[in-house]
Structure formats: structure tokens, C-alpha cells
Amino acid sequence: MNRRTTFTALALALSCGLAVAQAFPSKPITLIVPFPAGGSSDALARSLSTPLSQALGQPVIVESRPGAGATIGADFVAKAKPDGTTLLMGAVHHTIATSVYRKLPYDFEKSFAPITTVALVPNVLVVNAKSAATDVKSLIALAKATPGKLSYGSNGNGTVQHLIGTQFAALAGVDILHVPYKGSAPLTTDLLGGQVDMSFDTLTPMVQHIKGGKLRALAVTTAKRSSTLPDVPTLAESGMAGFDQGTWFGILAPAATPKDVVARLHTEMVRIIHSPEFKKRMEEIGAEPVGNTPEQMAAQIKDDTARYAKLVKEAKVAIE
């Protein structure tokens, strides 16, 4: 009798577990974007949200919570109920923030459950179309002729654009001024208006202005050229050997989210990311779809956290 009772109890528990997994989600999902609308993270979130909503049978609401180098949005998700209904559009910026901010209210490696990397977006060095700089060589010459006068905008202190700028300045031997913004949208406005001289932002918010002739692309920061801008050289081709920096974006849940919920989200997201429709959309915005496993994304986060800690130390970037 005891054996039969135990078997019955186990069967009941298993059926209840399956019922819970099948019931997810029972309410709308909120996808937090830690930057203002108009940037790469927002574009990727909205490209994913509609097909994901259809797959899960619940609305997927994209909500912007910008500020402090993307850490405000991350903190909000880290403290959310771990039931899979509050997710973060994380990015490489969060691995940098670990070293840049002295007192973060969360641990990026421990406070989140990685689901999948959505896409990799090349960063691109751009100047206003009216700039005297027509290539990287002439930009460096202009910067050396006017030390401290040229400025570059980023998506905030401690973001990858900030560090690309410090690395570029060090390799080129120039003094350029860093101007931090809350995201791509306000940065792009000032870049178009001439308030800042250059940017190393992701390709997504820049591509329409580059193709429209309002901005001039001088180089991409990744090791290989972008298929969206095949005629634009890499920084390595422009004299900065070994330069390879890009921006990845991926989805994470609070750390204690049940494994079966993470698995369901991963399955649906990867199916969407690998679909022809999503790939076509990524081509339009200059992104490269990824769709890896939670374990691969976790390894990526660990590796980038260590890699950027070295760059942050070399650049002497720190924020209280």
C-alpha cells in the first residue's frame, strides 16, 4: 500500500507540474527595454514581441525603462516576480556595467536566468555628412589638429559605445570628448544636428540616416564588414589591427524563474529567431540573428564580463 501510495503521489505531482508548464503564460508578458525607444534594443524587442505573443497566446508588452547605462531596467527585472512574465532585453552593456559601476544593486551573472541571444549588431563609426572627415585617416588627422575639440556620443557611461570610443582614442593617439546620452534616439538627434561630431553606435538606428545621406559611415567596429554596408571598411582595415567590438542583445528572466518556463520561452524564441521572416527583418535593420542556448548565453556573459573588466581598468572608467 505504501508503495502504491508513493507511486500515486509521484504521478499526481508530475501531472501537476506538467499542468503548470502547459498553463504558462496565464497573463501578459512584459519585456523591459533598458534604453529609450528608437534604438537597437527597442527594434529587436518589437521584432520579437509580435510573433512571441502569437506563439504564447498572451500579449507581449515592450516597456522602456532607460537610464544609468541600462542598469535601471536590469535592476527592475532582477527584482521582479520570477514567473517568466517579466523579461529583460539584456545587452553586452550589462557585462560592462559590472566593472564600471562600483555599487550595482544586482549581480548580472547571478541575478538572471539567460534564455537566448537574439542578435549581434555591428557598431559603426559615423560622422555628420557635413564633416570634413571622409575616412578614418582624415578623422584622426582632424582630431590631432584640434585636441579635445571633437566629441563622440554614446548610449551612456559604461556602455560598449563608451568603451569603443576610449579604445579608439587610445589606439589613434587622439584626445576626443565623450558625451553620454540615455540612448540612441537622443544621441542620433544631436548627431544629425551637429551637437556631437561622431558616434560608435549600433548600426540599427544609424542605417537609415547613412543610406539617406545625412550621416557618413567611416568604418564598422567588428572584425568583418557588415552585409548591410558592404562598402564600409572595418576599423582593422583602416589601420587599427585587431579591433573587434560589436553589440549583442539577448533575453533574460529573473534568476529563480522555473526551468520549465525558461525552456518554453527558449523554444519559442529560437524558433522565431531562426524563421525566414525574422531573418529578413534583421537584414533590414543591420542585425545578425543568433538564437543560442541558455548555457551558451551564460558562457558569453561570463567571458564578456572578464574581457570588459580589463578594458574598463585600462580606460580607468568608474561610476559611483
What domains are there in the chain, each with its CATH number?
26-120+248-315 (3.40.190.150), 122-220 (3.40.190.10)
Confidence of residue 182 (pLDDT cuts 50, 70, 90): confident
Phi-psi region of 85 (alpha: psi -120 to 50; beta: other; left: phi over 0): alpha
Confidence of residue 20 (pLDDT cuts 50, 70, 90): very low
How many of the other CB atoms lie within 10 Å of CB of 80? 18
CA distances from 91 to 70, 73, 117, 219, 251 (A): 9, 11, 9, 22, 8
Confidence of residue 320 (pLDDT cuts 50, 70, 90): low
SS3 173: coil
**How far apart are the C-alpha atoms of 12 and 51, rounded to whole Å?**
34
* 159 vs 60, residue with greater confidence: 60
- The average pLDDT across 17-46 equals 84
pLDDT in tens, 154-169: 988 888 999 999 999 9
pLDDT over 90, % of the chain? 80
- The average pLDDT across 125-147 equals 97
Q: What is the 8-class DSSP label of residue 130?
A: T
Buried b (16+ CB within 10 A) or exposed e, 181-210: bbbbbbbbeebeeeebbbbbbbbbbbbebb
Let me know: does 210 contact 178? Beta carbons within 8 Å: no
Let me know: does 266 contact 297? Beta carbons within 8 Å: no
Confidence of residue 311 (pLDDT cuts 50, 70, 90): confident
pLDDT in tens, 213-227: 999 999 999 999 998
The mean pLDDT of the chain is 91
- The average pLDDT across 291-296 equals 98
Q: Which three cell numbers stand for residue 165?
A: 570610443
Q: Closest Cα partner for 120 from 289, 252, 282?
A: 289
State residue 13's pLDDT score: 46
- The average pLDDT across 84-92 equals 97
Task: Describe the strand order of the beta sheet including 288-289 as a list of residue ranges.
Answer: 60-64, 29-33, 86-91, 246-254, 112-122, 288-289
- The average pLDDT across 180-199 equals 94
Confidence check: pLDDT of 7 > 60: no
State residue 4's pLDDT score: 53
SS3 20: helix
Query: What are the φ and ψ backbone dihedral angles of 167, each rounded to 5 degrees?
Result: -70, -40
State residue 203's pLDDT score: 93
Confidence check: pLDDT of 133 > 90: yes
Q: Which three cell numbers stand for residue 114?
A: 539567460
pLDDT in tens, 230-244: 999 999 999 999 899
Q: pTM for this one?
A: 0.84
State residue 22's pLDDT score: 56
